[in-house]
Amino acid sequence: MTDTRTPPPPAGPPPTPDAPAGSVTVPGESLATLLHGYRVHARAPRGVVAALTERPRTLRALIQDSGLPRRSVEEILGCLGDDLRTGAGGTFVLRPAAVDRYRALIDYDELRAGTPLDSLAAAIGRNDALVTTMHELIASAPRPRAELDHVPATAATVVRRAVWLATHFDLRDAHLLCVGDHDLTSLAVVLLAAAAASAPGSARRGPAVTVVDIDEDLLEFLDRSARSRGVRLRCLYADLRFGLPPSVAGSADLAFTDPPYTPQGVSLFAARGAQGLADRERGRVLVAYGFSDRVPTLGWKVQRALLDQGLVFEAIWPAFHTYEGAEAVGARADMYVCQPTPATWKHLDRPAPARGPVPTAIYTRGRQSTESRPVPPAQPVLAAATAFLAAAPGRSVFVGERPELAAAAHAHLATVLERGLPTAAAGAGGPLSAVADLSDDPGPWLTRLLLAVNADRLAVIVTADHSVLGAGGSRSDALDPLRAKWVPTPEHDATADHHAATDHQGGGDHHGDGGDGAWGGARLVTFAAVDPADLDPGMRLARWLLDRPHGKIGNVWRDGLIRVVRTAEGRAPSQREALAAARRAVADPDLLAARLIDLPRHALASTLAAAVTSVEPPREGEAAAGG
């Protein structure tokens, strides 16, 4: 859901629209003119006035209840003139003496008698306890990230989605894929299914639900919340711009997404949802999307982007979703039920060309908004990276969207994250040093890069305030699970402050070239590979996994355990014994089918810790149970 960047509520009633300077506007006459202009669409603006005749309302409540854009609601309020005042808590209060006059003007009785019935209202009402639970979960979830276009749906909307899915599809033994889930829809679905299954005499089987998301704090929250309530979710990391985890592709019956509201964002998320479908005839992609009726061209562009993916709109449920924000689109969005066509699969099955730069601008704001433009690393940063490569002999490679370092081979970031350093770029023989440009890293790319790159030395260009590394020269505990592979070398880092201090000590005159502005708010952080010979057997197995992040965890773990035990003890467990040891060690055996690079941060840490303990011989009785 797009963050619409709406301004704060006004301190008082909005001004009357289009009133000539110095004129005196009669509120009733102005409102009548405005309503007449809406013609057949006047029910929603009449509803705004009707709500004010009933009780004081906040601007947000008026927007959510009417589904009108904020600007339209402000125009209606402006028409009420002196009959409207501000009350406690930022509410708007209609003058009591004016209530009957406005009710007559909008034909209040006809309006309320003709209010459309909500076919899901009764079912949602029966699940009011779940609405309360979801309200508490949403309140305790990680804060919405504006740079990822997060705007939370209301608790009632999240339950509405779960109820609608359960009443419109046969979810018994089905698999639902949530392509992004900052609204916690996945939790509502599994909790609703669990409540139905626990009813007396019920033998219902609920759906399996998988969430893929870029927000690792959110994934940890979803996983922890599900476990604490005795339900299951599978949570995997994915930056959808670089692809869908292989263990998810072609696995789901339904895919639901509430994407960034740009043509690029909606198209990408819907395409990944289609890639996740197992049944190409009966699978469906469900998309939450809304646009302002004041700017229909934006809606046309997004709908055209969906049609370009070969998707057909089987149904569009208007005003299905309500949000705590997104006031520019009326805090509402429609539910698109999209059916893939042969054109969808022709598009998705097309052989991928050689990996080039991947478009990352899909959001409405931030460094990766559709209005942003790529900025190459500043020259002082590139100079520091060049010096890093020159400090050690051997091969060198630059990872980034453009070949910024002439002395190094080049590999695209998407290629490296997908399958590691290509042999053609890394070469063969001799020590390997790598430099990677992660200037646009939203946070999790650094961990994935450290997993994907196997080299002797690594330098990474990041922003000075990188969310994982922290400000200044500090290192976050988030990288601790990688300690069997990489050790930070802060003595080789380069920052604007460090560069300026070095120049000053050396008596150099850099004429401001080393200042933070010249560095573009970036810094160079460096790492050295750990020597596996210095590791104990458990950590050596962790290193084996870390060096092979693109393989299935179960297979890599099995082969590594056999090798480590043979080296340490002179005996080799069978493949069956090694795989049984891995299954005993993990809390969720399903993770063994995933790749290490697809695990969210918390699952990565627990999986590597489990691998370390699996090297120890099983206690008596465990081997039989595991075999």
Whether the per-residue pLDDT at 353 is higher than 70: the answer is no
> Which of 463, 496, 530 finishes a domain?
530
525 in the same domain as 541:
no
Would you list the DSSP string of 7-43? PPPPSSPPPPTTPPTT----HHHHHHHHHHHHGGGTH
**Residues with Cβ < 8 Å from 529, sequence gap 6 or more?**
454, 455, 456, 457, 458, 485, 486, 487
For the entire predicted model, the pTM comes to: 0.84
- The neighbouring-strand residues paired with 457 are 433, 528
* Best CA proximity match to 282, nearest among 337, 348, 343, 245: 337
Structural domain boundaries enclosing 459:
379-475+487-530
Is residue 11 included in any domain, yes or no? no
Is residue 275 included in any domain, yes or no? yes
137 in the same domain as 96:
no
178 in the same domain as 315:
yes
Largest Cα span, the chain: 96
Is residue 17 included in any domain, yes or no? no
Give the tens place of pLDDT for each residue, 497-540: 655 444 444 444 443 444 556 777 889 999 999 999 999 999 99
243 in the same domain as 308:
yes
**CATH number, residue 91:** 1.10.10
Give the tens place of pLDDT for each residue, 217-228: 999 999 999 999
> Which of 113, 148, 166 finishes a domain?
113
| 8-state DSSP, 536 | -
Burial of 514 (0-12, 13-18, 19+ CB in 10 A): buried
Distance CA 6, CA 364 (A): 13
> Which of 82, 113, 144 finishes a domain?
113
Distance CA 491, CA 421 (A): 26
How are strands ordered across the β-sheet holding 395-399? Answer: 409-411, 395-399, 432-437, 457-463, 522-529, 486-488
Domain count, the chain: 4
Is residue 372 included in any domain, yes or no? no
308 in the same domain as 214:
yes
The mean of the pLDDT values for the chain is 87
Is residue 480 included in any domain, yes or no? no
* Best CA proximity match to 265, nearest among 401, 149, 145: 149
Q: What is the structure's pLDDT at 156?
A: 94
444 in the same domain as 402:
yes
Q: Which amino acid does the sequence have at 200?
A: P
Distance CA 302, CA 235 (A): 28
Give 512-520's long-range contacts (Cβ < 8 A, gap of 24+).
513/380, 514/380, 516/464, 518/378, 518/379, 518/380, 519/378, 519/380, 519/381, 519/464, 519/495, 520/375, 520/377, 520/378, 520/381, 520/439
Give the tens place of pLDDT for each residue, 239-283: 999 999 999 999 999 999 999 999 999 999 999 999 999 999 999
Is residue 19 included in any domain, yes or no? no
Within a 10 A sphere around the Cβ of 371, how many other Cβ atoms? Answer: 10
598 in the same domain as 539:
yes
**CATH number, residue 255:** 3.40.50.150
Burial pattern 71-92, b for ≥16 Cβ within 10 A else e, equals: bbbbbbbbbbbebbeeeeeebb
| 8-state DSSP, 354 | S
321 in the same domain as 237:
yes
337 in the same domain as 283:
yes
Give the tens place of pLDDT for each residue, 170-203: 999 999 999 999 999 999 999 999 999 886 666 5
Pair of tokens at residue 319: 């005003």
Q: Using 50, 70 and 90 to split pLDDT, how confident is the model at 329?
A: confident
Give the tens place of pLDDT for each residue, 455-471: 999 999 999 888 888 65
Give the tens place of pLDDT for each residue, 68-106: 999 999 999 999 999 999 999 899 999 999 999 999 999
Distance CA 508, CA 496 (A): 15
Q: What is the structure's pLDDT at 497?
A: 60
220 in the same domain as 160:
yes
Distance CA 504, CA 522 (A): 20
Count of helix runs (H) and strand runs (E) in the chain? 24, 16
Distance CA 49, CA 114 (A): 16
Is residue 58 included in any domain, yes or no? yes
User: Measuring CA to CA, how many Å separate 503 from each of 74, 210, 386, 508?
Assistant: 57, 53, 18, 5
544 in the same domain as 526:
no
Q: What is the structure's pLDDT at 419?
A: 92
Is residue 225 included in any domain, yes or no? yes
**Residues with Cβ < 8 Å from 134, sequence gap 6 or more?**
155, 158, 159, 184, 187, 188, 191
Please give the helix or strand (H or E) that residue 165 lies within, else none.
helix 155-168
339 in the same domain as 214:
yes
Considering 374-383, 417-426, 581-590, the range whose residues carry the highest mean pLDDT is 581-590
